[in-house]
Structure 1
Amino acid sequence: MHVNSYYAATANPHEAWPQLKESIQCDVCIIGGGFTGLSSALFLTEAGYDVVVLEAAQVGFGASGRNGGQVVNSYSRDVDVIEQRYGSESAKLLGSMMFEGAAIIRDRIDRYAIDCDYRPGGVFAALTPRQMQHLDAQSERWRRYGNHQLELLDREEIRREVGSDRYVGGLLDRSGGHIHPLNLALGEAEAIRRHGGRIFERSAVTSVQYGSPHRISTEHGQVQARFVIFAGNAYLAPHLEPRLAKKSLPCGSQIVATEPLSAEMAQSLLPNNFCVEDCNYLLDYFRLTADNRLLYGGGVIYGAREPSDIDALIRPKLLKTFPQLAGVKFDYAWSGNFLLTLSRMPQFGRLENGVYYMQGDSGHGVTSTHLSGRLIAEAMRGDAERFDAFAKLPHLPFPGGRTLRVPLTAIGAAWYALRDRLGV
């Protein structure tokens, strides 16, 4: 069952997928029914591959069906950091793909008539002059890579877009936007069905035996496949492939959805219905839903522990941004896990002959997972240049191993949170 989220409560009616209870064969077996797996499956079925998706719970059960629903361009590290760390050639190639994930989402919505409340436009909100300088530089970089739908906002202009006094300015990206992510996932799953792909829910993978063919076992069935894609991200059982687990860290994020607001109140908070994220290291993000609720999220819990009181974590953040919502009721509050990498860049690669993985979008999964689906399809069809642009990046293990990676990461995050508070 999905968590008790706003998304689950407002999911589009859909036909359930069966549980795997037999032995079957296919070209490609994908482990994970979130955006990474669904995007890959859709591109591959469109290309004529026989694809099977194995999902331990339900389609969109993990981060793909629980996130803030923001369609944010680029990666968790922007192209200037990529160039500094990995060189100009990597920056040029990865930069050329920064806006592709969002374009894929819009194309999927249009091509398959997916009803997921898509609304264009997203704002990066600066809380300090230093953050505003960063946004100014970012806008110049993004324009050089082809995004001309950007507008810098001064203090007065951002006040017209966000009904809060917190921000000194911002950057409006009209090629970003927001969606109902679970309904997008369900719509993509239906498109996969239309192309002949098979999806099995409640079919957790228990073991993978590499060979020719590879054998992927569940409790009640087995799949034999020429290719395997690990696409479980934060919800992939660590024992299935320890080589992936040591390179990443599951993290939890919390979101609330308020009671429906009056049309006047909703209009006063976000007059043009843009989504917003601030520029802090531990950032807050918010937007309106189709029924005029404010959906507000923020913070990170390293190691993906479930917090005991989401209200206590999020309400102070929300009221700091919108004090006019004092006393507002939260109808929904939930947690979800995303997968963090040490570099904050997605990790793509190969484990064995015909075995691929894509993981660790580090908070930018809505767009980068849709890009990754296209890249894996390109690689399987013999054009691996763009997939390998990611695969060649160093995939570093977290320091301290399994025992220390959570506290060491939390210590680092605390340092950056202090910088946020000090405005440095």
Structure 2
Amino acid sequence: MSYIDSYYARTVADQRKRSALEETHTAEICIIGAGYAGLTTALELAKGGKSVVLLEAEQIGWGASGRNGGFVSPGYAVGEAQIAKKLGKQDAQRLHKMSIEGMELVRNNIEQYEITSAKPVSGITGVTRYDSGDDLKIAAAESLRDYNYPLEFLDRDDVQARLMSSCYHQGLRDQNAFHIHPLNYARGLANAVEAHEGVIFENSAALRVEKLATQMVVHTANGKIKAEKVVVTTGGYTGSLLPKLKRAFLPIATYVLITEEAPDLLAQVIKTTDAIGDDRRAADYYRLVDDGKRLMWGGRITTIPAKPADVATILRKEMVGTYPELASLKVELAWSGLMAYARHQMPQIGKLSEQIWYCTAFGGHGLNTTAIGGKVAAEALLDQTDRYELFAPFGLAWTGGPVGKAVAQMTYWGLQAMDWWKERG
């Protein structure tokens, strides 16, 4: 299957196709799913001397890894205070440091493997839709104190000098964070895996995992992989291969649009190359692409994917509501993709048995967590560290099936209502 029609698919630099699996192959480790987590795990294992085969049901980065906003910054979808309630302050801080490490791993991969088509652009600014200046100053001070990680506080005048929107109050600018072309990064990672003698098969969905006395066998339509261990790194498009894993997260749809070219108009209202995200629970995120010629705008989530035309209408309304000057700007294309969300909203990294590992549920976290997730999974498989165990307390909690989907959607609608009320307060 080809990539869905998105801005990233239209501008992907490497269009090489890889063959489907046929016959029987052997490897020390078989990885299922060639998104960021699977590619990073494969790369770290191959660098560590393991023989690796990576199976992808469609094409490299076909799912959320090739359709997302491209933000690379520290942190998780859940705030540090909430993580600390479950793990304690020390382990919560260890996890945050790992998220910074994940961001740097993405940067280093781009540099080391010369993935120039990822086109990294420095700077991500988070802005507030209501007066939060004191809270942001505290957050910046704590980031510097606890992690030696600087964040630049922007008062309302600073924000208004960059973003011509009356919706915004203050902001925090992260000069170390960056944004990229996510599909090009995924395909660059695939090339790096192969450069380290890893093997990748596309259009090779894993249909069954069989445990034999001394090895695992992963079956596809036309072949099989015999391996010592299997790592499942699928996300929102996970099938019924491992029911226990599938039950542990929800496939949640998110949406993105790209506008027509309008560099002069866009330059009047967005005077920064930073990627932007707001602080609402139902947040918008956006960034200029094509050297400022187009605006990419993302946001909204649903438990049932909407049609592209409906996506464009919803997101365009948000865009124009934020920047009325863009009312004449047309939408060229809109698309959606499924992310994997656990009930506790943290990544899921661990093992079902000594032979079957998982590294998934990265929805809402950004690229940094897929990188550190893949790295710590590989470290465990290489017998180097047990850092993956920091994620163990979150576990594979059942999401509630169809009822869980309905609850998730109602929760999101409730958060939107809370945002609306707070902005008008």
Q: Are residues 379 and 304 of structure 1, via their aligned partners in 2, closer, same or farther at CA, if it must alter by over 3 Å?
A: farther
Residue 386 (structure 2) pairs with residue 385 (structure 1): yes
Give 1:39-50 correspondences, 5 Å limit: 39-50=40-51
Give 1:35-114 correspondences, 5 Å limit: 35-114=36-115
Give 1:239-254 correspondences, 5 Å limit: 239-254=240-255
Q: Are residues 85 and 135 of structure 1, via their aligned partners in 2, closer, same or farther at CA, if it must alter by over 3 Å?
A: farther
Residue number in structure 2 paired with 1:405: 404
Q: Could you say what secondary structure the match of 2:352 adopts?
A: strand
Residue number in structure 1 paired with 2:361: 360
Does the CA contact (< 8 Å) of 1:120 and 1:274 recur in 2? yes
Aligned partner of 1:417: which letter? Q
Q: Are residues 134 and 397 of structure 1, via their aligned partners in 2, closer, same or farther at CA, if it must alter by over 3 Å?
A: farther
Q: Deviations over 1:6-61 (max 9, x none)?
A: 00000003421111011100011111011011111111111111111100000010
Q: Deviations over 1:359-380 (max 9, x none)?
A: 1123114110011111012111
Residue 413 (structure 2) pairs with residue 414 (structure 1): yes
**1:332 deviation in Å?**
1.5
Aligned partner of 2:121: which letter? R
Residue number in structure 1 paired with 2:201: 200
**Distance in 2, Cα, partners of 1:170 & 1:106:** 24
**Distance in 2, Cα, partners of 1:114 & 1:135:** 34
Residue number in structure 1 paired with 2:232: 230
Greater Cα shift, 301-310 or 223-232: 301-310
Aligned partner of 1:2: which letter? Y
Q: Could you say what secondary structure the match of 2:147 adopts?
A: coil
Residue 296 (structure 2) pairs with residue 295 (structure 1): yes
Does the CA contact (< 8 Å) of 2:265 and 2:326 recur in 1? no
Does the CA contact (< 8 Å) of 2:99 and 2:368 recur in 1? no
Q: Could you say what secondary structure the match of 1:227 adopts?
A: strand
Aligned partner of 1:91: which letter? A
Q: Could you say what secondary structure the match of 1:165 adopts?
A: coil
Does the CA contact (< 8 Å) of 1:99 and 1:147 recur in 2? no
**Distance in 2, Cα, partners of 1:79 & 1:235:** 28
Does the CA contact (< 8 Å) of 1:86 and 1:393 recur in 2? no
Q: Are residues 332 and 307 of structure 1, via their aligned partners in 2, closer, same or farther at CA, if it must alter by over 3 Å?
A: closer
**Distance in 2, Cα, partners of 1:233 & 1:342:** 14
Greater Cα shift, 297-306 or 375-384: 297-306
Q: Could you say what secondary structure the match of 2:99 adopts?
A: coil
Unaligned 5+ residue runs, structure 1? none
Aligned partner of 1:271: which letter? K
Residue number in structure 2 paired with 1:373: 374
**1:138 deviation in Å?**
2.9
**1:309 deviation in Å?**
1.5
What RMSD over aligned residues (CA atoms) do the two structures have, in Å? 1.6
Aligned partner of 1:72: which letter? S
Residue number in structure 2 paired with 1:186: 187
Residue number in structure 2 paired with 1:268: 268
**Distance in 1, Cα, partners of 2:262 & 2:46:** 42
Does the CA contact (< 8 Å) of 2:312 and 2:333 recur in 1? no
**1:394 deviation in Å?**
4.0
Residue number in structure 2 paired with 1:343: 344
**1:308 deviation in Å?**
5.6
Does the CA contact (< 8 Å) of 2:308 and 2:335 recur in 1? no
Q: Are residues 252 and 146 of structure 1, via their aligned partners in 2, closer, same or farther at CA, if it must alter by over 3 Å?
A: same
Aligned partner of 2:408: which letter? T
Q: Could you say what secondary structure the match of 1:99 adopts?
A: helix
**Distance in 2, Cα, partners of 1:89 & 1:171:** 24
**Distance in 2, Cα, partners of 1:106 & 1:215:** 35
Q: Are residues 44 and 306 of structure 1, via their aligned partners in 2, closer, same or farther at CA, if it must alter by over 3 Å?
A: farther
Q: Could you say what secondary structure the match of 1:254 adopts?
A: strand
**1:186 deviation in Å?**
0.8
Misfit runs of 4+, over 4 Å: 303-308
Q: Could you say what secondary structure the match of 2:184 adopts?
A: helix
Does the CA contact (< 8 Å) of 2:350 and 2:377 recur in 1? no
Residue number in structure 1 paired with 2:322: 321
Q: Could you say what secondary structure the match of 1:129 adopts?
A: coil
**1:306 deviation in Å?**
4.8
Does the CA contact (< 8 Å) of 2:71 and 2:366 recur in 1? no
**Distance in 2, Cα, partners of 1:390 & 1:269:** 41
Does the CA contact (< 8 Å) of 1:348 and 1:358 recur in 2? yes
Residue number in structure 2 paired with 1:330: 331
**1:270 deviation in Å?**
3.0
Residue number in structure 1 paired with 2:129: 127
Aligned partner of 1:10: which letter? T
**Distance in 1, Cα, partners of 2:87 & 2:308:** 37
Instruction: Give me the TM-score of the superposition, normalised by structure 1.
Output: 0.95
Does the CA contact (< 8 Å) of 1:209 and 1:216 recur in 2? yes
**Distance in 2, Cα, partners of 1:216 & 1:385:** 26
**Distance in 1, Cα, partners of 2:208 & 2:397:** 25
Q: Deviations over 1:226-257 (max 9, x none)?
A: 111110111111x1111112211110011100
**1:144 deviation in Å?**
3.1
**Distance in 2, Cα, partners of 1:61 & 1:366:** 15
Q: Deviations over 1:123-160 (max 9, x none)?
A: 11100124x44433432332234253310111110112
Residue number in structure 2 paired with 1:286: 286
**Distance in 1, Cα, partners of 2:61 & 2:317:** 29
Q: Deviations over 1:366-424 (max 9, x none)?
A: 110011111012111213431111123344222xx212011111122222211111118
**Distance in 2, Cα, partners of 1:223 & 1:277:** 42
**Distance in 2, Cα, partners of 1:50 & 1:316:** 50
Greater Cα shift, 77-86 or 343-352: 77-86
Q: Deviations over 1:277-296 (max 9, x none)?
A: 11111110000112421000
